[in-house]
Amino acid sequence: MRIFIKYMVSTRCKLAVMEVFNKLDLHASMIDLGEFEVIEDLSCEQKMQLKTDLLNLGLELIEDRKEVLIEKVKDAIIEVIHHKDGIAKFKFSVYLSRKLNYHYTYLANVFSALQGITIEQFIIAHKIERIKELIIYGECNMTEIAWKMNYSSVAHLSNQFKKSTGLSPSLFKQLRQQKRSPLEEIGSRHSITQMPLQHPQAAINMNITRPVRI
């Protein structure tokens, strides 16, 4: 049987979940991020224990079909933005449609209906977090970052960055000693609708995302 798990964003998540399966005497293998194939049928007791153990890890068992689809969309976007070396000339609409075998319009409609934000907004939120990470690491200049993250120019990147954070990339770099927060908090309806920072000093409390969950 297939089991779908929410908030999985890293290999460490996979290892932790595999330990849970072993504890429950279940033989499982990961097919994709957040998707597992289990040989056995779960008893009611095993299912309840699985839910509890996953919650203790900050993860969640998904049972609704549309929620499963949305989580697959999120996982695919996170995998591309945070775990690949750049997304130059990358078309998410084509990629998601081919990977998930659904027309992009359907994916977009289901996503916005259940999440309250669009796929594009979710993508932008994660691109901004990845840009923050690249700025902090200091291994790329802004021209290289703009190319890696599929922006037409540094000006285009800077405008979107400031619109999302309230800061220019250069000012953000000056205030970069920040605490980092979990990936699953990025791209939520709450985080998208928050007003950007209006004063540079407010950036002292701004979080920067680490692409790991556990």
Q: What does the mean pLDDT of the chain come to?
A: 84
Task: Note whether 33 and 85 are same-domain residues.
Answer: no
Instruction: Single out the residue in 63, 87, 103 at which a domain terminates.
Output: 63
* Residue 49 neighbours by CB distance under 10 Å: 15
Does 138 lie in the same domain as 112?
Answer: yes
> For residue 199, what pLDDT band results from cuts at 50, 70 and 90?
very low
- CATH number of the domain within which 82 lies: 1.10.10.60
Residue 92 shares a structural domain with residue 44: no
Contact 42, 50 (CB under 8 A): yes
Task: Indicate the number of domains in the chain.
Answer: 2
1, HSE (Cβ side, Cα atoms, 13 Å): 9
Q: Does one domain contain both 127 and 156?
A: yes
Distance CA 94, CA 108 (A): 12
| Average pLDDT over every residue of 181-186 | 66
pLDDT score of 24:
92
8, 39: one domain: yes
- Give tens-digit pLDDT for 75-112: 999 989 988 887 877 899 999 999 999 999 999 999 99
- pLDDT mean over 186-204: 51
For residue 160, the 8-state DSSP code is: H
Taking phi over 0 as left and psi of -120 to 50 as alpha, with beta for the rest, 90 belongs to: beta
- Whether residue 17 is predicted with pLDDT greater than 70 in this model: the reply is yes
The dihedrals phi and psi of 40, each to the nearest 5 degrees, come to -85, 160
pTM beyond 0.85:
no
Decide which of 18, 38, 63 is a domain's last residue: 63
Q: Which domain holds residue 95?
A: 68-210
> From the CB of residue 189, how many other CB atoms can be counted at a distance below 10 Å?
12
Least Cα distance to 19 among 30, 9, 4 occurs for: 30
Q: What is the CATH number of the domain that holds 49?
A: 3.30.70.100
Segment 112-169, tens digit of pLDDT: 999 999 999 999 999 999 999 999 988 899 999 999 999 999 999 999 999 999 999 9
pLDDT recorded at residue 134: 92
